[in-house]
A and B are shown apart, each in its own frame.
Chain A
């Protein structure tokens, strides 16, 4: 029993460290994401009505809906995956008849969705989410963008667990494509024409869109893995606490048994001595 407690305690500690590392990453990626989003807002405002003619900003011609589902590779993380799947089931219920094709992160999610018989378009197994860096996000965003531009899909969604706090992580579905840029402030829109643009609005916008998508995926993936570790930490903490309680209980049982054993042995010895004396 003590061993199990040691293991869960160790796993709790590991989860806490990793959690902190992923959280730091999320925090330090924020300024970049904000800058990109702002620039995109400004550029799309400068484009005006021409914006709708860009394929990434208009709804796709296809009928299907692509969805990136971000689950975990490993278990022992409490209700993390089941909450994610439950939310997905709710979404499917609300959008009955939708032709959903899935893009999947996480072995657990893959296994579940396969068992459910849902069409899996692509499973990102390698590199695992655990090893997340910006390049991984870039790669994922590119895959989703290419899928969208192929014309098969109407829209692309991301289903992941949003991290709100150490104790709160919510399964969420967000629209990913077509791009709906954060609208620039009204007064800034008027002023956009005063800005020198090098080389041109179109070029800048075309370069910004993939970057913007990358930052959004990066953020979603980071939040998902942070939530996973927060959930795992909690699960391990509960296990450790349960182990502590059980250890106390078992210690009582053990001591009683030991006492019993000693008493029995004493009786035997005394009995034996009595018998010898009687001879």
Chain B
């Protein structure tokens, strides 16, 4: 395939994805990063969120957790702790996690324990990102 980009998602447990794509959008720590074929050599920190890619004209996505991305010579390697395809995501669990995290945040608003607060926030972001990959959350909806 001419001008294609190889996308490889690598986690400690396996290589989740190894495909040819025409465009990728990934969650950088400072906002979304779009990557097209022939991108310059780049190393970026990846945040928890939704990584979308185009495979054979179809827009697909997967959930990624914190990690790194490197584009070099038309290959994009995403190295992160977790990479879950829609089929691997447990919808019920993500919903429950979201409810739990929201309840905890509410209970702790203004509370003394900043660490728990951060933890709950992180859990909430993961839960929402997972659901977004499943197409359950509208893309416009920003993190609350």
Across the interface, do B43 and A32 meet the contact criterion of CB distance under 8 Å?
Answer: no
Q: Is A203 an interface residue (CB 8 A)?
A: yes
Q: Is B40 an interface residue (CB 8 A)?
A: yes
- Identify B45's interface contact among A29, A35, A199, A218, CB under 8 A: A199
Across the interface, do A198 and B79 meet the contact criterion of CB distance under 8 Å?
Answer: no
The CA-CA distance from A71 to B135 in the complex, in Å, is 46
Determine how close the nearest CB of chain B comes to the CB of A157; give it in whole angstroms.
23
Comparing A36-44, A107-115, A164-172, the segment that makes contact with chain B is A36-44
Determine how close the nearest CB of chain A comes to the CB of B118; give it in whole angstroms.
15
What count of chain B residues pass the 8 Å CB interface test? 23
The CA-CA distance from A196 to B41 in the complex, in Å, is 6
B77 proximity list for chain A (CB < 8 A): 35
- Identify B40's interface contact among A31, A33, A196, A199, CB under 8 A: A196
Number of A-B contacts (CB under 8 A): 68
Across the interface, do A196 and B13 meet the contact criterion of CB distance under 8 Å?
Answer: no
B81 proximity list for chain A (CB < 8 A): 134, 211
Mask: chain B, 24-58; 1 = CB below 8 Å from A; 0 = not: 00001110010000001111110000000000000
Mask: chain B, 1-42; 1 = CB below 8 Å from A; 0 = not: 000000000111111000000000000111001000000111
The CA-CA distance from A33 to B13 in the complex, in Å, is 10
- Identify A134's interface contact among B10, B12, B29, B68, CB under 8 A: B12
The CA-CA distance from A208 to B44 in the complex, in Å, is 11
> B residues touching A (Cβ–Cβ < 8 Å)?
10-15, 28-30, 33, 40-45, 66-68, 70, 77, 79, 81
Looking across the interface, which residue of chain A has its beta carbon closest to that of B33? Answer: A198
Across the interface, do A29 and B12 meet the contact criterion of CB distance under 8 Å?
Answer: yes
> A residues touching B (Cβ–Cβ < 8 Å)?
25, 28-29, 31-33, 35-36, 39, 42-43, 134, 194-199, 203-204, 207-208, 211, 215, 218
- Identify B68's interface contact among A25, A204, A215, A218, CB under 8 A: A204
- Identify A42's interface contact among B15, B43, B79, CB under 8 A: B43
Scoring A134, A198, A215 by chain B CB atoms within 10 A of each residue's CB, the highest score goes to: A198
Across the interface, do A207 and B41 meet the contact criterion of CB distance under 8 Å?
Answer: no
Across the interface, do B10 and A35 meet the contact criterion of CB distance under 8 Å?
Answer: yes
The CA-CA distance from A211 to B44 in the complex, in Å, is 15
Determine how close the nearest CB of chain A comes to the CB of B113; give it in whole angstroms.
19
A32 proximity list for chain B (CB < 8 A): 10-12, 79
Across the interface, do A197 and B42 meet the contact criterion of CB distance under 8 Å?
Answer: yes
